[in-house]
Amino acid sequence: ALPGATSYAEYGAASEVLPPGTEASTVPPAASGDSDPSPTLKLGAKSNCIIVSARQRGNPILKFVRNVPWEFGEIVPDYVLGQSTCALFLSLRYHNLNPNYIHARLQLLGKTYAVQVLLVQVDVKDPHQALKELAKMCILADCTLILAWSPEEAGRYLETYKAYEQKPADLLKEKVDQDFLSIVTDCLTSVKSVNKTDALSLLSTFGVSHLLPISVQTGPYHC
C-alpha cells in the first residue's frame, strides 16, 4: 500500500528523486484520518513482539534488535513497543534532507500512546541546530526524545523499551535493606516531618499497627 520511496532503505535514493514538497506523500494512506486511531493500531493488544512498520524495512537498526522478537505490521508509528509505547525513528542525515518529514509523521501520530518516543540517530557531524529544533518539537508534541549514536545503540533502545514494558521501577529507586527495621524506617521517613531517629523512637513506643495511622494523619488518599 505504501509508496516505495517511504521505506527506510530507499530514502537515500528517494530523497534525491523526490522534490522537497512531496514529503506529504510519505504519509501512509491507511491512517489519513487524524481524529480516530486507525483500526490497525490495535491499541491494548498484547504482543510479545515489537511491531515494526513496513516503512522501516531495510533499516539497519533492525539487525541489532536481537534480544526481542519483532514482526512487521500495519501501524501508524514506526515501532510499537508495548501496549502504550511507540516510537518514531529518525536519522538526522535524513532529517537534514527532509526537514518536514518528521512534522508530518508526528502530526499523523497525534497522541495515541502514553509514551511516544522519538528515537533519533545522530549520524551527522554537527547535529546541534537540528537537535535543538527537535527538542522543541518534542516538547510541543509530547514526545520523549531519545538519542542514539549508532544503529546498535538505537536497536538496543527498541529492545529495552519492549523488554522493560512491564518492569517495575525498583531498579531506579533507592536501595533499601530488606530487614524489617530498615523497611519500617524507610516507610516512616517518607512522611516529611519524620527523620530516622524519630522513626526508631516511635517504633519502640508503638507497634506498627498503631504507628501507621498516627504517622499519616492525612487520612484519605484522595485529594
Partner 1 sequence: MLCSFLGRASATAASLPAQPVMAAVLEHENQVFLDLFHQDGLVICARGLGIDRILLRFLRLYCEPASLVLVLNTSPAEEEYFIDQLRSDGVVHLPRRVTNEITSNCRYEVYTQGGVLFATSRILVVDFLTDRIPSDLITGILVYKAHRIIESCQEAFILRLFRQKNKKGFIKAFTDNAIAFNTGFCHVERVMRNLFVRKLYLWPRFHIAVNSFLEKHKPEVVEIHVSMTPAMLTIQTSILDILNVCLRELKRFNPALEVEDLSLENAIGKPFDKTIRHYLDPLWHQLGAKTKSLVQDLKILRTLLQYLTQYDCVTFLNLVESLRATEKAFGQNSGWLFLDSSTSMFVNARARVYRIPDDKISKKSKVSEKMDMKEGKELKRELVLESNPKWEALREVLKEIESENNNSEHLGGPGQVLICASDDRTCAQLREYIIAGAEALLMRLYNKTFGKDERAAEAWIKDRKAVKSKGNAKSDTGPQAKKAKVEASSKQNKIMKKQDLTLTQMMGKTEEEDIAEEMEGYKELSSSEEINTEETKPEDFHLNLASDAYYGIFKNPLTIIHPLQGCSDPYALTRLLHEVEPRYVVMYDAELTFVRQLEIYKASRPGKPLRVYFLIYGGSTEEQRYLTVLRKEKEAFEKLIREKASMVIPEEREGRDETNLDLVRDSTSATVSTDTRKAGGQDQKSVQQTIIVDMREFRSELPSLIHRRGIDIEPVTLEVGDYILTPDICIERKSISDLIGSLNNGRLYSQCISMSRYYKRPILLIEFDPSKSFSLTSRGSLHQEISSNDITSKLTLLTLHFPRLRILWCPSPHATAELFEELKQNRPQPDAAIAMAITADSEIVPESDKYNPGPQDFLLKIPGVNAKNCRVLMNHVKSISELVTLSQEKLLEILGNAVSAKQLYDFIHISYAEAISKAKTKR
Asked if 95 and 123 count as a contact pair (C-beta separation under 8 A), the reply is no
String of contacts with partner 1 for each residue 36-75, x by CB under 8 A: -------------------------------x--------
- Looking at beta carbons only, is 45 or 208 nearer to partner 1? 208
Backbone CA torsion sign across 185, 186, 189, 195: positive
Interatomic CA distance for residues 81 and 143, integer angstroms: 14
Other beta carbons within 10 angstroms of residue 31's beta carbon come to: 21
DSSP track, 23-45: GGGGS-GGG--SSSPPGGG-TT-
Interaction with partner 1 in 124-183: which residues (CB under 8 A)? 127-128, 131-132, 135-136, 138-139, 142-147, 149-150, 152-153, 156-157, 159-161, 163-165, 167-169, 171-176, 179-181, 183
Interatomic CA distance for residues 54 and 65, integer angstroms: 16
> Which residues of the chain form contacts with partner 1 (CB under 8 A)?
67, 84-85, 114-115, 117, 122, 127-128, 131-132, 135-136, 138-139, 142-147, 149-150, 152-153, 156-157, 159-161, 163-165, 167-169, 171-176, 179-181, 183-184, 186-187, 190-192, 203-204, 206-210, 212-213, 215-216, 218-223
